[in-house]
Structure 1
Amino acid sequence: MITFLQPIWLLLLLPAGVALWLWPLPGRWQRWLRGVTLVLIVLALARLAVRLPDRSGVVIVVADRSASMPAQAAAAQEEIIRLLERSRRPRDEVGVVAFGQRAVVESLPQRGAFPGFRAEVGRDQSSLAEALETALTLIPDEAGGRILVLSDGKWTGRDPIGAATRAAARGVAIDYRLLSRPEAGDVGIQSFDVPQSAAPSEGFLMTAWVWSPGDQEIRYRLLRNGRVLASGSRRVETGLTRLMFRDLAPDHGLLEYELEVEGAAEDPVPENNRARALLMVRGEPALLVASEAGESSGLVRLLRAGGLRVVAQRPGAVRWTADALMAYDAVLLEQVPASVIGSVGLENLALWVEGTGRGLMLTGGPKGFGAGGYFRSPLERVLPLTLESPREHLKQSVAIVVALDRSGSMAAPVGGGRTKMDLANLGTVQVLDLLGPGDEIGVIAVDSSPHVIVQLDRVERNAARRGRILSIQSMGGGIFIYEALSAAARMILESRAQRRHIILFADAADSEEPGAYRALLEKCREAGVTVSVIGLGTEADQDAWLLKEIAQLGGGECYFTASAEEIPRLFAQDTFTVARLAFVEGVTPFRFTPAQRVLGLGFEGEPPPVGGYNLCFLRPGAQQAAVTTDENAAPVVAFWNAGLGRVLTFSGEADGQFAGPLASWDRVGEFYTTLARWTMGRQEESNPDLFLRQEIRDGACYVQVHLDPQRREESLGGTPRLTSLTVRAGLPPRRETVPLEWRSADLLEAVVPLESTETRVHVLEIPGRPPLTLPPVCLPYSPELAPGLQSRGSTTLAELAAATGGRERGEIPRIWSELPVRRRWLELTPWLFLAAMVLFLAEVWERYTGWLSAGLARRTDREMQTAMPGETAEVTPTAWSVPTRRRWSALWGAWRRRSGQPAVQTAPTDPAPGRPRQTDVAKPAGAPGRTGSSTYDALREARERARRRRGL
């Protein structure tokens, strides 16, 4: 069977035929060669193809990368892929799909080598159905193919039998190789059921089902928030055994329960011996006050006297995660430095406010707002104030010299293709950006000796040297502290700025040669030069004491961070403290604005002044309920809505040295209580027309919205939206919107996949109503590791193979010989072009040599000698009857006569000995006696004689 893939080109045959007819070539063979060449070219352009049987095809390897796989599974899977590559035929291709929580194409079908597993697929689930569907999309419809599954057969989510049905319909077989852990002796927790919420002082039951492969005695231990609640041992039988526990809910908080079991023998799957669950205690609205004073804070006493339920904790004791904060309706930060909460904690706090509808209140002071390090922090985006001062508020000239550690430790990577040195360079650039055009900056890089990168000069001139700062690289060795400080001091003393400051950046675990640093710092202090230190590491590192003492003697701040990502923010924080007027000291009057009524305030007249305030400026869209009456006209009370939540700031100090006369005001308790009550917002209203439910099953959280089936009117003001907050330990949170789908006329449902290392908080937003927050949920452990599922996995793989005509693969290379035979179209275009090129060259050769015409003439001579034996002796000898050395001369003469040029007469040569001369050969009667006549002349004369005999 043949076809043309682009038949439109066949229309070129018509103009090609017309051209050959109008402009014929001189020889018959040339005309034939030219015609066939044109036909071949047209067929090649039309893409002539023939259909042939073919067994080559595609094998897609589906590799299970979930947590239930054996430790050496990845190496075994790669070895099988290499074996497939070595045994395939030239036209065969191999593709790879890896799957866990999601399926990812690791390698498209190709004839090259597999580069290895690189994608992150999530190890807590096995989306086998999604992986099979992805593999099917990689097999072309016209090509033969098979799927090879390398897995233990355990799956979560959709049943893979649906994907197997689609594979069978396409004729694609699913083979498998079973790779699984040995599960003999596996003791594990099959389920751990804890209520999602409870009221204060409410008793509740917790149930766990424990799987045991045989009769034995197990040990168990139950923990609540890390403390042992119950422990003991119990005799269990083969199969499932139920364990029950009872507890009493405290007044508030998020409770994390962990159950541990241990069998008598070594366990091959220890991951399922530990399960966790969360319980939210919900009572009266609660306000968390984070204050260094803790319970002794005067602000806490005032708020409690105002009737609020207040939980007071020191900032370092608070779990700054979105799930832990769900126990509170609002958080109040009483002059808490940003470094105490940390970058991840600040991001958690901001997302908690924006995503759950909770509230946040901040009070000011010397360690609050910009002075406390909130400038360019993750929390700044939700504040109703901007912390950066306009240029007209920069009243002092500033000179800063930055001394950077560029020792070998700074070359360590920190992710994203960056090193510690890159982040230190970025922090230095932030110093450059925060200074005014008339301020001065200098940069020194230090290892065992100082290296001047940027000379001390005005910012407007050094701005062009930004690239030089960003290109500083680690050069090895360690940092010599005295060399860094002395070089920075020499440079800064050249400045005449009103404020002169040094920022020393060093590794807290690798700071060497301090030398006479105390005497040097004493001279700097006498000259009015301050020194701050940014230490990469923790206060427990070996050289941290030295860095802290340098900052203390230098009259500056000392910052430590174990996360290199925090370095640029710390540079900005220290520069902001030095170069900006962050806190205004002194008694300052303020007044209320009409916006106070939005907060519920109703004060008449001017209140007592504050003893100082943080200089901040109102953001567009925010409102101010109180403002200073000095030249700055700065907001004292500002508020707005951030996402779903509320944020309020009081820029004065609530309890401390700078509280001022406001602290003795007889209505100060009412003032602070009203602000805090507004921050806590509207409480979640009861919804009698709908019921929320969330359930954990099959590795996912099912969130359902049940509507009253007897409702008379539509109770939803619009399409609800479910927001999911993902919390992981030590990582910034993630916020996503999950679609809700109608399952029936009265049921909306959303399915949220879960991972064992994360906690999810779901918030339902209904237009026109306050957001509804559900209790945090988590998986007990990866559903991949549930005990007693080994037989289920092997049975699943066998069913997939049986449904599609596949089988278990013992000998991997044989899969190529069992690919289905498919007929494929073989395109002849290259061969047609090649044939056309050969014929074209033959035409050129014929044009210049006439070798085909000469061969035909010789054949005609032989036929004439056979047909007319009586005339054989009378025929004049042709060019082919002369010696070989004279044949080309005869052909050349024939070509010249045809082209109208006179033939060159050559003198007759003597024949070979014993042979007569050519002129002596007898001529036939009536034949022209032309010496040197060509084959064409002989043929023409023969034709004329034949015509005369026939009377034509």
Structure 2
Amino acid sequence: MDWPRLSSVTFEHPAWLALAFVTGALALGAGALVRRQPGAVRAFAGPMRVAALALVGLALASPVVDEPREERFDPAGVWVLRLAGPWQPVRGQSWFSEEPQVFAARVRNALALGHPPTMVEIHSTEEISARDACALVRALNVPCVAVLAPRALEARDAWLGQWLAPASLAPGEAFDGSLSLAGTSQVRLRFAVNGQEVEVREVQAPEQVAFPRAELPPGRHILTSELVGRDGTVVQRVGHVVRVGAPPRLMALGFDEVAFTRLARLAPSFTRSRVEPRTLTSAMLRECEVVVMPVSAGVSLTSSQSRDLARFVANGGGLFVTGDGAAGTNRAYLDTGFRELLPVRLLEQRQEKPPDPPIEEEIGKAEVAAVSILFVIDRSGSMDTAIGTGSTRWRIAVEAVKQALAKLDPWDRAGVLSFTLSREWRPAPKVIAPFDRELIARDLLSLKGDRNFEAGFNTDIYGAVSEALDVAEKEKSAVKVVVVLTDGADKDDPGGKVRNHRELAIRAMSKGINIVALGIGDGFIGEAPDVRAARRVIQNLATKPEFAKIANDAESARSAPVIFVNAVEFAYKAYDDEMQRRERERQKRPVETPKDPRLDVLEGRFALTLTPVGSQLLGMRDLPEPRPRLLRYARCQLRQEAALALGLASDERGEAQPVALAVSSFGLGRVAFWSSGLDPSSLGDVASWAEWPRLAAQALRYLTPREDPQPRLFGRATTGGIGVLDPIEGARYGLRTERGETPLELKDGRLVAREGTLEEGAAEVIEALGSERRVLGDVWLTLEAPPDSAQRVQVEPDGRSPLQPRSPDVTVRREKALAPVIWALALMLALMPLERLIRRRS
């Protein structure tokens, strides 16, 4: 029990302390009036009585101590658990030789204390024991790799181990990687990039050897490290493949040559191209990542081009709109789809009387796709019934979906809803990439039929179509089609009433959605009540008589894929008709020049202000003083779903903060609006501000598409085979090298050569599914080490990064200050007898 610092002591009940002092003062005053005691007694006994009462008050006031405590998380070093076999220590590593459960408890305790290892290595000669121990450590959320240690190792040996290096780099980023060198001797290492020697170095093992830093151009690069023997021969060679991404591509839409040159200075890390608005196509948009355009260029965009731009952003692209040319731009001539993309509402010039009218933007969802098609497929047990020879109703339905998906254009959307009494999206509506078609088909084929019945039925057609319509209404597409396939009648309502499927068709037509209904199988043959009910379901669901199809024999059932493909073709024809209708309506509108046609552009000197969003987005804490000022900006209003990054100081009360830079998300992409221009006459002080080019470049980088994760992860890669995690059953694999492509086969989770072994060196793993092919990733194949070799191989990689230190968490803990209370009571107990003794002896 330590005496606390007085500065850290407070009181829980300070009122008791004040009461004790008041009581003591009154007692002292009362004692002073008593003249029976001599003056010396009153001089000693009175203060002692007051002190005793004050000490009682101090104890009752409950002094407490506020102690700030820091909880730190400082991972340090690599811990190595050696289960079996020899192991040469490496500097900076802590090694243990104990049971895996005991080691896991050690790691758990280190986590609780805030000093865990950055990562863990499990070394063993037995692969199974290494994997099991690694699983215990990973369960604690600590990165761990299992490494097969050599079974026989001489003291003079040295060998190269695993790489610690990135697999990809951003443009202009220098490669920073290393690899471990184990052993005890001094060796010579030779480093090369793409076969060109860059450095030869003498290194004393053990050591974590840094690869020479190099700035690599965009593309694929092979980095090798060779262990050179005394006679100059290569004892061991290890490699690493890294890809450097190409600079993001920027399209300058509607800028003249001078403005394009000015933009180039703000985006030096982008590959830039200049395009006129009238020539813009969807194919051009697929060749870039970010589009920069002045708001005046929006006048030249047609409705079709605005939709293409919206689909481009919704699928991950970035759009940056500036206020250049706003003074001469008529808002009425900007397409609605383009205006709805912006994170702001543009305002027209102010009028003296009456004041600014309320904003009249057309409220609607911007279309991000031309067509959305939803397939609603019956997966009851009866769909496994054979049709003809060699096929079933379900296989025909899956093939129909697959062929229909192949007809979709890029950026258009589709989804598949399988149903019985329950419903499941496989997948939910999304943009269908070429490789997705075969994956969706395989996923549907793996779906087992449901044979659970309720009141004699195991299909809920009404509920499935109703859910599909709910989803279709939320789709931002110009044309929406629902295709239904079933092989029987629908179940009744829980109350026993027959459902009115025509209500669904009427609801769909009111929302501009078409339903194509297809009945398949012999459940539609005859005049039995259930057969007539099944036919009535198909006829009532279809939004047009020609959309109701019955395939009740083997020959007509095999034509189901044709019906699905025709539904897709109808969707695109309906889209073309819709676009023509909109164009005719637009041409019928009277062309009148508004009284006040231009956007409102204010001139003056407007100081920038930084918001919390802007601080995070632009990477700066505050603006310099005096703050940079704009000379001109287009007046606009921030939309509810947008965020303000940079604002402008306003002297007008009651108005929202003027917008300088606003950002918002749209689908998978992002949009930014800079209300001023990029020319010096609009930027003012900002043009000469040293931070302006960096801020503009940072805003453009924010708009670039986010990278997708690697679709597959590879484990141990040697000439004997490649470990692949989560392989696709039935897919074909190959290995592409400079000498050509070698077919691989999947055995026990590893891709191995059909004959012999693979060739040492860098290669690409190819995955093929149906007619689609893609590159899974790069690997370096090392020589298969014999059992008594000194070469270690990693068998259980971990894709997670090593643990990193975190800022300390400061908490304040309040505890009772027992020492002051005990001392106060002890002094009080000592003073009271003394005071009484003094009075009695007087």
Q: Same fold (TM over 0.5)?
A: no
> When the two structures are superposed, what TM-score results if normalisation uses the length of structure 2?
0.30
> When the two structures are superposed, what TM-score results if normalisation uses the length of structure 1?
0.27
Of structures 1 and 2, the larger Rg is shown by 1
